[in-house]
Amino acid sequence: MRVIRASEVGEYVFCHRAWWLRHTRGHTSANVRELAEGTATHAGHGQRVAAADRLGGALRGLAVLLLLAALALAAASLLPPP
């Protein structure tokens, strides 16, 4: 069973003739360098998104910790003095 990737669907939507030439006739694109640059750009962007997601997870954990500390301080301030 052949897997159809989203990029292939996008290629077909953009130009079904180009998709047909590539997948049935084996023709390659004339702008190979530009396609390689685009692939590299997308890979770099994906790495930056993953790094931001990891940082976001750490910041969420810190935010929860600070919230719990603030709640503990607020509860302690409501206790009568010793």
pLDDT digits (tens, 9 = 90+) for 49-79: 999 999 998 999 999 999 999 999 999 999 9
Tell me, what's the pLDDT at 43?
A: 94
What is the three-state SS of 36-62? HHHHHHHHHHHHHHHHHHHHHHHHHHH
Spatial distance between the Cα atoms of 45 and 56, rounded to a whole number of angstroms: 16
Say how many CA atoms lie within 13 Å of 73 toward its Cβ.
6
Task: Yes or no: say if 31 and 37 are a contact pair by the CB < 8 Å rule.
Answer: no
H or E stretch including 12? helix 6-14
The structural domains of the chain, with segments of one domain joined by +, span 6-77
Predicted model pTM: 0.52
Tell me, what's the pLDDT at 20?
A: 92
Tell me, what's the pLDDT at 13?
A: 95
